[in-house]
Amino acid sequence: MLLENASEPFIERIEEDEIFYFSDSEGFSTKVKKFLLSQKKVKLFIFCGDILSFLSVDNDFFKVYKNYWGVFKTFYNYYKISKRKNVPEIAKSSVGDKVSKIIEKENKDDLKNFFEFAKECKKKKIKIIYFSGNHDSALSYDFLMPNYSYIPLLSKIYHLDSLYFPRDLELIKINQELFMIGIHTKSDTSECRNFPELNYYINTLESIEKPEQIIFISHIPGISKFSKLGSKDISNFKRKFKFKYHYHGHCKDYYGEYLEENVKTKSVHYKD
């Protein structure tokens, strides 16, 4: 993996001290919105998951709307087989719109605050990079991309100008000396701690150019400090590629810095 191949989603140079890392607000209250907007000298927010926590998925289903989502998946799979152009519209009107309206109605205050926050970030030219956690896994790149056009709420979120949803392990250029790589959490099951993509990189990629210039982002931590909540795949990835820093969430009883696999690591779990 070469630094010269990194994506460049930002026009202006961003310094390391202009980045604010945040996770696990488990919703987006007015207090959370004010807290984030009160941060000084911020040009980039990195969300490390469990922010819009009513958007979790369990084996490709919205957890609380499995019946609706099952019908939708039936439509969607039929569309892929038949390639009939009208089927996606049927799916959207029959299921996607209904699921979206239910979620929006039950979480209208949080969504109002989130959209206001995103609008304010756009006005201030602040970017937001969003990596999903287990509680907002519908916003993982692999789930969002094939589904946002069918679910109006996901489409609204995806098209916010201030938000950027990177691919898993997409190398992102922050400035000439600083880069970022991260991974989404894709479900709210016990499988959320398994990351086959990391195993693939560990086994097939001989090196990452200058990992000491790369910040690694995940929602789930490694296992050295959090054996029950962490992922051995995360720890193994850090063992092979000695990153500049690792930021994560997920661990509500701990906020702070520690060392894992000789990589400086910090839990950025929100403290209410």
Query: For the chain, what are the domain ranges?
Result: 13-56+108-164, 58-102, 172-267
Is pLDDT of 259 > 60? Answer: yes
Which residue matches tokens 């392990």? 169
Higher confidence at residue 180 or residue 68?
180
CATH of 13-56+108-164, one of 1.10.287, 3.30.70, 3.90.1420, 3.30.750: 3.30.750
Statement: residue 195 has pLDDT above 50: yes
| CATH value of 172-267 in 3.30.1330.60, 3.20.20.70, 3.60.21.10, 3.30.70.141 | 3.60.21.10
Segment 103-162, tens digit of pLDDT: 898 899 999 999 999 999 999 999 999 999 999 998 999 988 988 887 889 999 999 999
Kindly report, residue by residue over 53-101, the tens digit of the pLDDT: 988 876 555 554 555 556 556 655 655 555 555 555 665 666 677 778 8
